[in-house]
Amino acid sequence: MKKIVLGNWKSLGDTASNAVLLAALAAHPPAAGVEVGVCVPFPFLTQARAVLEGTAIGWGAQNVSPFGAGAYTGEVHAGMLAEFGCRYALVGHSERRQLFAETDERIADKIDRLLAANVRPVVCVGETLAEREAGGWRETLGRQVAALAARLGPEKLSRAWFAYEPVWAIGTGRVAAPADIAEAHAFLRERLMALGVPAEEVVILYGGSVKADNAQGVFAVPGCDGALVGAASRVVEEFIAIVAAAG
């Protein structure tokens, strides 16, 4: 199966630094069988499209409205992302769950909107450090996917991609051990299968402190389809090296 590398720029960047980064990405196409994309802040979608259109590299957003078009001040709906050529949108990132009180129900509604607009939802799930230390990571992952399945049903959920992002590994420099990633991915597939999702075909990425020097180890994990890369996706040499490691 092909490997996937997605960058999450978070709320970082400006047009000058983006121009350098996007030009470097366009000049380093991924190897055959590797899919690459960058999820950028909304104001930079036009810039990403202008540079990446016609290359093999996709672009997307980091959030979407749970509603459609209408009187929802401040929201960006899935149809707008589709019009701007977004291939993907992140949903349920732990920063949004923690800082913006996103619930599984809201996340499910966002997935639904994205699927209807033909934009691939990349659904982030993962446990906190306290949950891991208390041995409760399975319960957290199980609860997160069960809540989505209850609202969406297995067919819709099977069209989403997942990113296993343990909260304690995000932005901490503490990448999860290969055995822990393998175990969590296998558990997610098992839970999804139990919910009626044909999970052997479902894409599950790993995210959390992926860097050039640990990317190969992450890509080698059984059942891991690629990486969601935060901070390192804003560093030209790092991201290009991670993409190269996926090939």
- The active-site residue, picked from 95, 102, 127, 165, is 165
Does 8 belong to an annotated binding site? yes
Closer by beta carbon to ligand PEP, 182 or else 193 = 182
What phi, psi does 162 have (nearest 5°)? -120, 150
Token pair in block for residue 143: 């609860």
User: Is 83 an active-site residue?
Assistant: no
Q: Which of 165, 189, 195, 197 binds ligand PEP (CB under 6 A)?
A: 165
How many chain residues bind ligand PEP (CB under 6 A)? 14
Is 11 annotated as ligand-binding? no
- In the complex with ligand PEP, which residue's Cβ is closer, 39 or 195? 39
Closer of 41 and 171 to ligand PEP (Cβ): 171
Strand, coil or helix: 163 = strand
User: Between residue 1 and residue 30, which ones bind ligand PEP under the rule CB under 6 A?
Assistant: 8, 10
**What is the nearest approach in angstroms of ligand PEP to the Cβ of residue 218?**
11
Give the C-alpha separation, 94 to 140, whole Å.
12
144 token code pair: 């997160």
Give 6 or 195: the residue with its C-beta nearer to ligand PEP: 6
Site string for ligand PEP, 177-216 (x = CB under 6 A): ------------------------------xxxx------
User: Of 80, 117, 229, 246, which one interacts with ligand PEP (CB under 6 A)?
Assistant: 229
**CA 108/CA 104 separation, integer angstroms:** 6
Count H helices, E strands: the chain? Answer: 11, 8
Q: Can you list the positions of beta strands (E) in 57-141?
A: 58-61, 88-91, 120-125
Is 211 assigned to a binding site? no
Q: Which of 93, 95, 127, 185 is catalytic?
A: 93
Does 107 bind ligand PEP (CB under 6 A)? Our answer is no
Distance CA 131, CA 49 (A): 39
Residues with Cβ within 8 Å of 16's Cβ and at least 6 positions away in sequence, in order, are: none
Binding of ligand PEP at residue 171 (CB under 6 A)?
A: yes
Nearest one of 128, 138, 134 to 208, comparing CA atoms: 128
93 is catalytic: yes
Is there a binding annotation on residue 161?
no
209 is in an annotated binding site: yes
Distance separating the N- and C-terminal Cα atoms of the chain: 12
Question: How is the chain split among helix, strand and coil, in percent rounded to 5?
Answer: 45, 15, 40
Cβ atoms of 215 and 3 within 8 Å: the answer is no
Q: Does 224 bind ligand PEP (CB under 6 A)?
A: no
State the amino acid at position 247 in one-letter form. Answer: G
Binding residues: 8-10, 171, 209
Binding residues for substrate: 8-10, 171, 209
> Which residues bind to ligand PEP, rule: CB under 6 A?
8, 10, 165, 170-171, 207-210, 228-232
**Active centre residues (catalytic):** 93, 165
